[in-house]
Amino acid sequence: MAATRKPVITQPFTCHPAGRNEKEKGSNKLLLVSFDGFRWNYDQDVDTPNMDLLVKQGVKAEYITPPFVTMTSPSHFTIITGRWIEDHGVIHNLMFNPETLRKYSHKATQNKTEWWDNGVLPLWITAQNQGKKTASFHYPGGGATYKGQAVDRTLVESFDHPDSNETEWRENIDMVMSWFTKENFDFVTLYYGEPDQVGHRKGPETEDRKMIIRQVDRTIGYLVEAIEKHSLKDKLNVIITSDHGMTTVKKKPEVEEILLSKYIKFSNLTKFDILDYGGFGMITPKPGKEEELYQALKNAHPHLKVYKKEEFPEHFHYAKNERVLPILVYGDPGYSVNGRFIFYVNKGDHGFDNEDMDMKTIFRAFGPDFKENYLAEPFDSIHIYPLMCKLLGINPQPNNGSLAITQKMLIDTSQPESNILLAAFILSAIAVMLVLIFITSVTYTAIQRKKRQKKNHHKAKNNPPLSSTTL
């Protein structure tokens, strides 16, 4: 578990250009599917025959770690850019402006280029610039433009889009299949809003959540069938993943909930805040009130973590962005951060520490370039980006991920290994032969010498050498 972060810290900003071979050999198509809020172990207490079959036919990571903050837009944008949240700048689901005090909902941000385009190019645009045709189906960030460039085809979720309509889920797959087959798209991202919604409304440990996981599983089965039906099995790689997990919100009387208005007077101390949004919040103090606000909150609740922006733990790779507000707060798992009141809406939530197991999420993959029946070690979701670049055969933008973490999943990267083994075998065989030849010749020479000595000895006995005196 602890190993998941190690390689990331040692390679904070590395560009991993595609290997020598992938451009020459051409590349397969790629479908990235995200089921929002699919906790890493949601398939373990439900029958999921289709996902189980994929474990045999492809790759499964035990779990993956999303970036902090464990929220939908920030995490999805990390997957599609390979960058930490503080680098790509999509630091929250909400778009906000602490000067105008305006806030925009998650769905309202989807067409707002100014929230997404912060100088980091998502994979759609990089792939397009290298000759690929790409599309986004409801995937967060797909509706914006980047340096003036739009994704070739984009469908953005409407405000009233139903999250759990299984028929629509299948229609979306049919449409994506036709994009690949009839219009020759190379890379498509497909997003579903479940099981996140059910996890929030009903809670992650409920029968409702199990039901939606069965629906996800049927949809994955439908996807596999559709791939076969459209003769894409040999040319389409598929990655199925998600943005974060889900944990049950702790409520009274079981616990004392976090309610910041118990400790601070908002009207005196705060100018602006992003609170009441799961396990994480941010506050801009009124001018001159930073220390007072900080001290009032610092030890207010045993399950509330409070930091000044400049002291926020670096391993989260979160706070070094100008959009992050001066005071950051997050709760221990299950302790939502409430501001002025407690809105009893969500039974499950996320936004908590990404090291908490309930925040971990899934990674599955299958297709012509992936090994079968391969169980991968847990890894951070930033590493998905260089993997996707390799699968598509394109040169990545600078990113925080590393192909070294994921390349063992791939069939072609095992080739050099087996070549090395073969070369080692041949070299050893040659070495053994040389040794044998050496031993044989040494033995032969020794025998010959002995024979000669014997002969000479015999001769000497019969014909003693002339002594000098006889001369």
Q: How far is the CB of 85 from Zn ion (least distance, A)?
A: 14
**String of contacts with Zn ion for each residue 95-124, x by CB under 5 A:** ------------------------------
Helix (H) or strand (E) holding 460: helix 414-462
Whether 45 and 210 have beta carbons less than 8 Å apart is answered as: yes
Nearest distance, CB of residue 131 and Zn ion, angstroms: 32
Complex with Zn ion: residue 246 or 328, whichever CB lies closer? 246
Residues between 148 and 207 with contacts to Zn ion, criterion CB under 5 A: 196
Stretch that binds Zn ion, among 8-16, 64-72, 147-155, 370-378 (CB under 5 A): 64-72
Which residue, 36 or 194, is less far from Zn ion as judged by CB? 36
Nearer to Zn ion, 270 or 361 (CB): 361
Taking residue 163's Cβ as centre, other Cβ atoms within 10 Å add up to 16
Strand partners, 226: none
Q: Which of 70, 72, 241, 413 is catalytic?
A: 72
CA 79/CA 7 separation, integer angstroms: 17
Rule CB under 5 A: is residue 349 a binding residue for Zn ion? no
How far does CA 165 lie from the centroid of its chain?
Answer: 27
- Rounded least distance, CB 196 to Zn ion, Å: 5
Size of the site for Zn ion (CB under 5 A): 5
CB 170 within 8 Å of CB 177 = no
Record the tokens describing residue 413, joined without a space. Answer: 């990267």
Nearer to Zn ion, 66 or 326 (CB): 66
The CB-of-93 to Zn ion minimum distance in angstroms stands at 8
Q: Which CB atom, from 194 or from 217, has the smaller least distance to Zn ion? A: 194
> Which residue number, 16 or 138, has a Cβ lying nearer to Zn ion?
138
d(CA 113, CA 74): 14
Task: Give the interface segment with Zn ion, choosing from 37-45, 138-146, 339-347, 460-468 (CB under 5 A).
Answer: 37-45
Which among 89, 143, 142 has a CA at the least distance from the CA of 118? Answer: 89
Residues 428-447 interacting with Zn ion (rule: CB under 5 A):
none
Options 33-41, 136-144, 149-157, 183-191: segment touching Zn ion (CB under 5 A): 33-41
Please give the backbone phi and psi of residue 241, each rounded to the nearest 5 degrees, phi first: -150, -165
Residue 122 or 193 having the CB closest to Zn ion: 193
Whether 153 and 185 have beta carbons less than 8 Å apart is answered as: yes
Contact between 36 and Zn ion per CB under 5 A: yes
The 8-class DSSP code of residue 58 comes to: S
Residue nearest to Zn ion (CB): 72
Considering only the stretches 12-20, 60-68, 70-78, 335-343, report the one whose residues sit in contact with Zn ion under the rule CB under 5 A: 70-78
Please name the residues in contact with 25: beta carbons below 8 A apart, sequence gap of 6 or more: 393, 412
Show the tokens assigned to 339.
Answer: 């501001």
Residue 243 engages Zn ion in binding (rule: CB under 5 A) = yes
The minimum distance between CB 159 and Zn ion, in angstroms, equals 17
Name the 3-class secondary structure at 193: coil
DSSP string, 6-45: HHHHH-SSB--PPPHHHHHH---EEEEEEETT-BTTTTSS
Question: 280 Cβ partners below 8 Å, 6+ apart?
Answer: 69, 70, 71, 328, 329, 330, 331, 337, 351, 352
Nearer to Zn ion, 336 or 413 (CB): 336
Q: Contact with Zn ion (CB under 5 A): which of 4, 34, 72, 397? A: 72
126 labelled catalytic: no
Site for Zn ion in 284-313 (CB under 5 A): none
The answer to whether the CB of 4 falls within 8 A of the CB of 380 is yes
Q: Stretches 28-36, 56-64, 139-147, 217-225: which one binds Zn ion (CB under 5 A)?
A: 28-36
DSSP 186: S
Question: Of the ranges 29-37, 182-190, 372-380, 436-444, which one interacts with Zn ion (CB under 5 A)?
Answer: 29-37
C-alpha–C-alpha distance, residues 385 and 402, integer Å: 8
- Catalytic positions, written as ranges: 72
Contact positions toward Zn ion, by CB under 5 A?
Answer: 36-37, 72, 196, 243
